[in-house]
Structure 1
Amino acid sequence: MAALTSTLQLLFLGALISPVYLQDACTVIAPTTPLVTYNLSVNPTVYQASTTYNVTVSGATNSTSVILQAINQSTTVGQWQSGSSVNCSNGQSAAQKNISSSATVQWTSPANWTGPVEIRALVTFSNNSNQFQKTTLNTASTTPSPVTTKTTTPSSVSTAKPSSFLLAAIQLLSVFVTGKLFSC
């Protein structure tokens, strides 16, 4: 009986923890609610084709990872430096990197793109919260400096693959069954 109780407790704990791993770097990051505690900077600050940019996340104390994307009209553009690049099955790309407070990743703009491009960052913290931030690189003739928007969410799951919904349903069922077994 003790082994069954321990097994059920571990199953319940797994149901609570596993949504942290459902984040998918290949899904376009969606904005969430404001209140961000880190900085996102891009240098240079004006969009030009075939240019390498330094994308820096700093001041992200107690962070564990960052997902970076370069977006134009819901499509990722450009190429992230090797070692942090994630090549998605749908042909899009992103960068994913483990960090503890700051990181700089290089992104190269495409040769055949005229801009603007939105650089998005989703930072996950050790308390399983996520914070989203974006900055827009405009062409020199449009706007000389980037516009930055900061947002955050207390949830650890901001994006999910369609298959993760099945996993979530199974987890919910296991929590329900565990609760029934504990009440007996």
Structure 2
Amino acid sequence: MTTFLFLVQLLFIGTLIIPAYAQTERCNLLLNATSSNFTVIVTPEAYKANTAYTVKIDDDRNLTNSNNVTKYLLQALSPQNVSVGEWDVVDTDNCSSIDTAVLNATQKTANWTSPGSNVSSVEIRAYIIFADKYATFKTVPLNKESETTTAPPNTTPNSVPVVQSSSFFIAVIQLPLLLVTSKLLS
């Protein structure tokens, strides 16, 4: 009976670790992402609170590996690098406390709703993840209408935030707790 309980616990832990690893791997790719020149179209173009936006990724560069795109990731960040607003997508990740919309290779458009709070501007970050574990990104700043300028926006951020996942850490902590619990029950 003790052996059976131990095996069930190991299977349960495995179900926690595998999704955590997949998320960690995807989020870790963002650390080494390189700036690219694909197109990200955000409509409307000016930032307003409580507004629905459409974010579309258009990568028509005829890349040899463009057919190897596995995922598109989208993030919306305040000037303080804090995740803001809400993505209306089926699949999301939390990469280092940044809400990340995950789109499959055929889905290049997502809807985002800006927060109701008074935020001065938002930066939309789009990532393309390729099958060979390579990632590229582009940023699009959204400024309040009165703050928009005629100069082209800076599309290369000074830095990409450090992306880490705590899911694996939580799974590792749960292992000793489950083992102690099984010893207490037997």
Counterpart code for 2:82: T
Work out whether 1:70 is the aligned partner of 2:63: no
8 Å CA contact retained: 1:133, 1:148? no
TM-score, with normalisation over the residues of structure 1?
Answer: 0.60
Higher helix share: 2
The structure 2 residue matched to 1:83, chosen from 69, 84, 90, is 90
Relative to structure 1, is the Cα distance of residues 42 and 20 closer, same or farther in structure 2, using a 3 angstrom cutoff? same
Relative to structure 1, is the Cα distance of residues 91 and 56 closer, same or farther in structure 2, using a 3 angstrom cutoff? same
Equivalence for 2:44 = 44
Relative to structure 1, is the Cα distance of residues 30 and 77 closer, same or farther in structure 2, using a 3 angstrom cutoff? farther
Q: Let me know the Cα RMSD of the aligned residues.
A: 3.5
Structure 1 residues 19-70: Cα deviation after superposition (integer angstroms, max 9, x where no partner): 9961239x9x568544x25211111100001100001111262211011110
Equivalence for 1:23 = 26
Please, which runs of 5 or more residues in structure 1 have no aligned partner?
1-17, 152-157, 166-184
Task: Name the CA distance, whole Å, in 2 between partners of 1:20 and 1:48.
Answer: 31
Counterpart code for 1:46: A
| Identity fraction in percent | 28
8 Å CA contact retained: 1:69, 1:119? yes
For these two proteins, the number of residue pairs brought into alignment is 137
Relative to structure 1, is the Cα distance of residues 68 and 164 closer, same or farther in structure 2, using a 3 angstrom cutoff? same
Counterpart code for 1:68: L
Please, which runs of 5 or more residues in structure 2 have no aligned partner?
1-20, 61-65, 170-186
Task: Name the CA distance, whole Å, in 2 between partners of 1:119 and 1:57.
Answer: 11
